[in-house]
Structure 1
Amino acid sequence: MKAHEVKKELQKSLLEAEVLDHVVVRWPQKEQPSSNSIWDEFGPVVRICDNRRVEVQESDAITITFVGCKKCSTPYSWTLSRGTQSLRKHNCPPKSVVASSSHSIVQWMVVKSCAAMCAVDMRPFAIVSGEGFQSLLQTVLDIGVASKNPIRIKDLLNDEVTVKRAAVKTYKTIRQVLIAKLQAHFQDKMVAGCTLDIWTEPLTSIAYMSVTMHYIDVDFKHNARTLQVDQFPEVSHTAVAILKTFKQCIIPFTGEFDSMNVPVKEQIRITTDHASNNCGEDGLPSEFQWNGCADHSISTCLSFVLDKRTSIVNGKKSKPYYQFYANAPAVFDMLDNCKALVTYVKRVGLNKQLTPKLKQAVATRWIATKELEAFKTPTLHLVTHWRKVLLEHCDIVDEERVVKDKDGVKVTLPPDSKDFLNIKDLIKYQILEKFMLTALHVATTYLDPRQKPIISELEIDDELQREAIAIIKSTMVQNSPPTLTIDDKRPVLATACNRHPRKRKRAAISVVFPCRCINDFSSNDNDDDQDDIDNVPNTATLEILVIAELQAYEAFTLSNAMSENNFSDSGSTVSKKRNQLKPSTVNILMFLRSNIDLTK
């Protein structure tokens, strides 16, 4: 047999077989290959039947000897000429339960205990797949393996008050670590994005305000850190009160303990929904760069037309009604009939015939909170595209058309009915009025190489395009890489070949960018701005922006991907089963949930 075939057989024998026919032993004192300390951990593999070493004669001069780790029995092929380098790279894998009949018994005991825990403590079955629960069990198992004496679990567990004190202590420790990280981030003139949301918990009528900061660190890793989920201190949720509370929250993390000065304000970008108290002139936009949530805009446009509303008539609240029912009665009747059908299916139990897979795929089910946290997916550059697609859906279709379904079958669609045309007109008007693009949206669209060639098809206002180009130009000038001087005294960029290796901490991406482009963008010539943008290589432009400005650009993307992600995150904690938690405790738990990795 060849060496690799022998190694496979040894792996099965040493690691998988219930009855071993090979074993790793110590080297005989006089036969140890050398005095190298590695042989304290490795020994030869021998056959149990004849106590002979497993060897393969590769040639007349080379004999391959198989050795194994004394702890985990992982086999390796070794020769004198190859040395021990491969052996030194070995790390023993964590020991798993050997697949045998005893394993099935142990596993069934754990399953029964988990089922009993869910029943006694009224916890969801999905708790067994939670990272925190598994980490707790792993810690207990490690303690049990390390202990030589039997341990009662009650001797390890403490009173709930002690656990809470530990949470508070951990919260204070992690908070100081996060403060140091963010203060260093802002001192380095880096930018960050913040999202905030306010809601009222229905059972206790306590108003909460959550603040999450998003930034890219020096290792080019995206971080989403919850700074607070605490009770809103003011009775009235005015724009001024929101601004004041937000500043009180982030001041410790910025290093400006007395007041927010101008430089720090310019480093923070805020994304919220379009509620009047969030975007009021005397609120957040008065001191910070503010960006509205695109998803919230889309939701507002649709709900304004399609949702029911109430009104006050003679001091009495009316029944819910459709404001635009007269424009499209067939459409609104269809909505009511669909709701009635869903209600009927639930009441008669037909929903039980749905497959469990289909029901579990719904992201809004309990313990599915993390599926809603889509803020790590960049979407800011897609807002212009989404708006264009929505407007295209509102175009009038006055003749039959043939399309293909997902299976490739051709389907003939009739022209739009009168009622549907009216609905399209209403929604289109709302989109044009409420779903407004900003220069930031257009700037990020320019930086997407897929959309740049079709930028003219997106029907973006000329003034917005000029503002977007100005943003890109100023960013490139302000954040150009450091220059060096070579023999001919021409300034050049620090590239991978001439940059000092110890000064590459921030260079997550090697930047090579022609100096003439920087000079062109910083000059006051009369060249067309669009031509300037077209002449800039896409990769180089992205690399320049990535180093400095993408921290804020990506921070904005979270609310453009999903509305009120902070609410879905924090609201699940303040649920019906947890409504008796004090607001301060909620704040501690949500902070730990978001920043627990800082303890590692």
Structure 2
Amino acid sequence: MASLSKSDIEKLIRNRDPSVSYAKPKKAFSEHWNNYSQVFVNRIPQHYICCSNCENLLAWKTGDGSTNLKKHSQYCRDKSPGNQQLVTKFMSSNNGNNERLIRMIKKNLITAAAEFCAIDNRPFSLIQGNGFQHLANAIYGARRALSAFNPIESLLPDRTTISREIDRIFFEDRAKLINLIQSVKQYFITIDFWTEPYTKIGYGGLSIHYFDDKFGLNVFILCCKAYKLPNQQANNVRLFTENILRSFSLELDKNTFIVCDNENKMRAAFRHGAVRVGCSAHFLNKIVEHSLTLPTIGCYDIQMMFNNVQDLVSYLRRSHNQSKLSKRLQLFTKTRWNSVKIVVFLFDYV
């Protein structure tokens, strides 16, 4: 689409057409550009710029330089406001119930959202997240409060500024959580450890659970960080837990309930000074595993069927037929959590 005429652009602005937008050119390095923005129609740059002081359209093309901008800035300072109607007088921050305009805006938003996900390599579900919607509302409110000619690039913070804000929010919310849990008399602490499959970095996590009459069950994550102790022996697991709780002014005592898995190291770590509660999911997992693997259980028919499934899975994984299946089959491994269920469910699925 070729550049529109000045009258055509003014007509679009009068009609509050959502295809009109404003941004500074990429090579606008002169200080005079602080008061000007180039006009875009359907994201196509036009040969016009808009002055943020008098809000009039001025002819401008790439390569014209900033001489005309300097002259017009002097003209704006010397000339008092006259009776001329400005293009922004026809623009409204409230579009009402104009269904046609709403449809056009939604169409542009869909296109912008698709381009955002494609260019920045982000999942489509990001648009539905509460955090993204909060950000969009904040940007929308900022554009309504400021002139329509303020480019959005001038409002977006640098990534370094965002990272610093994360630290501030963390310490602020952490202080609030410490004050909140001081009034809690009884609570459960859940602890777990895992290894990230790609980086092989071990992590440890703690969460606190308590119940009150106003909000019911409350759950807060106290910690989720890399496990840097030499090993996961019982004494180090205990030390890791106590250090995290101490940072929140909490401690292990006979009124503290610890929910963890049923490994020997976890049993030993919390045998004294706390009430350890075994994870029911681990009990159920072991019941299923023992019924299919231990010969003393007496479930011969079920165990024979499970052994046949394992033989088939082992054969299929080594054959070219695995590539034809929609999911990759898994073998039973004692060290993998819920391994029996994974083997059976994947085999049944394919």
TM-score (norm 2): 0.58
Is 1:164 the counterpart of 2:159? The answer is: no
**2:189 corresponds to:** 194
**2:225 corresponds to:** 230
Matched residues in 2 for 1:112 and 1:97: separation?
22
Give the alignment's Cα RMSD to 1 decimal: 3.3
The SS at the match of 2:183 is helix
Indicate if the aligned counterparts of 1:234 and 1:241 stay in contact, CA closer than 8 A: yes
Indicate if the aligned counterparts of 2:292 and 2:306 stay in contact, CA closer than 8 A: no
Structure 1 residues 210 and 146, CA, compared in 2 at 3 Å: closer, same or farther? same
Shift in Å, 1:325: 9.6
Is 1:277 the counterpart of 2:286? The answer is: no
Structure 1 residues 216 and 129, CA, compared in 2 at 3 Å: closer, same or farther? same
**1:208 corresponds to:** 203
Indicate if the aligned counterparts of 2:195 and 2:203 stay in contact, CA closer than 8 A: yes
Structure 1 residues 285 and 152, CA, compared in 2 at 3 Å: closer, same or farther? farther
Instruction: Give 1:101's aligned amino acid.
Output: R
Q: How does 1:394-413 map to 2 (within 5 A)?
A: none
Indicate if the aligned counterparts of 2:188 and 2:256 stay in contact, CA closer than 8 A: yes
Matched residues in 1 for 2:244 and 2:95: separation?
46
Q: Which 5+ residue runs of structure 1 have no aligned equivalent?
A: 1-94, 308-323, 352-562, 565-600
Structure 1 residues 211 and 101, CA, compared in 2 at 3 Å: closer, same or farther? same
Matched residues in 2 for 1:194 and 1:345: separation?
46
Shift in Å, 1:328: 4.0
**1:266 corresponds to:** 254
Matched residues in 1 for 2:218 and 2:166: separation?
22
Shift in Å, 1:347: 3.7
The SS at the match of 1:226 is strand
Indicate if the aligned counterparts of 1:199 and 1:207 stay in contact, CA closer than 8 A: yes
Matched residues in 1 for 2:134 and 2:215: separation?
28
Count of residues in correspondence between the two structures: 231
Shift in Å, 1:181: 1.1
Instruction: Give 2:102's aligned amino acid.
Output: H
**1:298 corresponds to:** 284
Is 1:131 the counterpart of 2:127? The answer is: no
Which structure carries more relative contact order (alpha carbon 8 Å, separation 6+)? 1
Indicate if the aligned counterparts of 1:180 and 1:253 stay in contact, CA closer than 8 A: no
**1:423 corresponds to:** none
Indicate if the aligned counterparts of 2:292 and 2:302 stay in contact, CA closer than 8 A: no
Structure 1 residues 331 and 201, CA, compared in 2 at 3 Å: closer, same or farther? closer
Indicate if the aligned counterparts of 1:242 and 1:284 stay in contact, CA closer than 8 A: no
Instruction: Give 1:287's aligned amino acid.
Output: G
Shift in Å, 1:102: 1.6
Instruction: Give 2:229's aligned amino acid.
Output: E
Is 1:332 the counterpart of 2:307? The answer is: yes
Shift in Å, 1:193: 0.5
Shift in Å, 1:213: 0.3
**1:111 corresponds to:** 110
Shift in Å, 1:114: 1.2
Indicate if the aligned counterparts of 1:97 and 1:103 stay in contact, CA closer than 8 A: no
Q: Which moved more, 1:147-156 or 1:174-183?
A: 147-156
TM-score (norm 1): 0.35
Shift in Å, 1:349: 7.2
Structure 1 residues 97 and 227, CA, compared in 2 at 3 Å: closer, same or farther? farther
Structure 1 residues 334 and 182, CA, compared in 2 at 3 Å: closer, same or farther? same
Indicate if the aligned counterparts of 2:258 and 2:277 stay in contact, CA closer than 8 A: yes
Q: Deviations over 1:130-157 (max 9, x none)?
A: 1111111111112222224433221122
Is 1:150 the counterpart of 2:114? The answer is: no
Q: Percent identity?
A: 21
